[in-house]
Amino acid sequence: MQKELCVNKSPHESLIKPHILINTLCNKVIPFLFLNNTEHFFFDQDSQAYEVFVDEGLKDDIATYGVYYTEKCPFNLGNRVYGPQTLQNATFQGVEQVLATFPPSKNLNIYLDRESALKILNRLPLCAKDRHNAHEINMLNRIAHLIQMRSGVTVFLQVYSHLEVTPDMSTSEATLKNNHWKQMQQWYPGGKASRLKKSNEGADHMCELGYLLDEPLSAPSVTQYHNHMLLQNIAPKTSCDSPFITERFRPTT
């Protein structure tokens, strides 16, 4: 059924494809054999973990996410976002893509440039209060489940993006970018910051490729009444002169 719906150009392909991780090679679990290829994946000896970068983009109310391992990795991916077209949702869907396809027994460092999403992901699993206040709670629940099912260590780390200073920038904007770059050099010394900066630019490029996918991504409607109000109370509101409600009881004999 999955093959008929998602692979063989069925009329339902554009609706169901984003929700079943089988449609392309990038949506399948990465074979262990590929991990030994240093041109496809980078293994950080200091942290004993593989590296992957997730970036997000929003243009003309269309959100995309990019997944980037190395320049020659065939599992790099740029895709459209289904559901709410927000940067936060794009980040979470990119993280879900990584966790669903990377071998669960291997340690993994996931680099993000969105600080608000990073703070939430580093608190998973969320407590009841945070779950009540969180947006995209379904995505967060899926990510928490995927992390729980992994035997390898999953670490979320921060990077800064778009650090280039151009002549047309204001002084305050240029100062902010320079401070971000200095902060990255403190976090990742010994030339590591330059490597991470280049890799994050690769994730940003994958985001741009996601805009080339012109088909809208959306979940199929459950019924013809999906997201429509079925019952509506049209009875007029009644008011009472007295602020108290009284009842008369018949005396018993």
In 150-188, which residue ranges form alpha helices assigned H by DSSP?
171-187
Domain extent listing, the chain: 2-210
- Summarised one tens digit per residue, pLDDT across range 139-169 is 999 999 999 999 999 999 999 999 988 889 9
Using the predicted structure, report yes or no on whether residue 244 has a pLDDT greater than 90: no
pLDDT bin (cut points 50, 70, 90) of residue 15 is: very low
- Summarised one tens digit per residue, pLDDT across range 21-45 is 433 434 567 888 788 888 899 999 9
User: Which pairing describes strands 62-68 and 77-80: parallel, antiparallel, or unpaired?
Assistant: antiparallel
Q: Which helix (DSSP H) or strand (DSSP E) does residue 101 occupy?
A: helix 87-101
Quick one: pLDDT at residue 223? 62
- Percent of residues, the chain, with pLDDT higher than 90: 57
Quick one: pLDDT at residue 108? 97
CATH 3.30.420.10 fits 2-210, yes or no: yes
Rounded to two decimals, the pTM is 0.76
**SS3 of 223, please?**
coil
What number is the average pLDDT over the span 183-196? 94
- One-letter amino acid for residue 73 of the chain: C
Which comes out higher in pLDDT, residue 83 or 200? 200
Which comes out higher in pLDDT, residue 40 or 239? 40
The residues, ordered by sequence, that sit 6+ positions from 217 with a Cβ below 8 Å of its Cβ are: 14, 17, 18, 80, 81, 82
- Summarised one tens digit per residue, pLDDT across range 99-130 is 999 999 999 999 999 999 999 999 999 988 88
Quick one: pLDDT at residue 26? 46
The residues, ordered by sequence, that sit 6+ positions from 222 with a Cβ below 8 Å of its Cβ are: none
What number is the average pLDDT over the span 211-235? 62
The residues, ordered by sequence, that sit 6+ positions from 122 with a Cβ below 8 Å of its Cβ are: 156
Using the predicted structure, report yes or no on whether residue 89 has a pLDDT greater than 70: yes
Quick one: pLDDT at residue 95? 96
Measuring CA to CA, which residue among 31, 23, 15, 73 is closest to residue 205? 73
Beta bridge partners of 220: none
Beta bridge partners of 158: 112
Q: Which helix (DSSP H) or strand (DSSP E) does residue 108 occupy?
A: strand 108-112
Q: Averaging pLDDT over each range in 1-10, 16-25, 134-143, which range is the top one? A: 134-143
Other CB atoms closer than 10 Å to residue 110's CB: what's the count? 22
Longest dimension (CA), the chain: 97
- Summarised one tens digit per residue, pLDDT across range 225-236 is 655 655 666 666
What number is the average pLDDT over the span 185-190? 93
Using the predicted structure, report yes or no on whether residue 199 has a pLDDT greater than 50: yes
The residues, ordered by sequence, that sit 6+ positions from 72 with a Cβ below 8 Å of its Cβ are: 39, 40
Quick one: pLDDT at residue 196? 96
Q: Distance between CA 102 and CA 90 in Å, rounded?
A: 18
19-23, 60-64, 113-117, 222-226: the lowest-pLDDT one: 19-23
Unique residue bearing structure tokens 């995309």: 64
Q: What is the DSSP code (8-state) at residue 242?
A: S
Other CB atoms closer than 10 Å to residue 208's CB: what's the count? 14
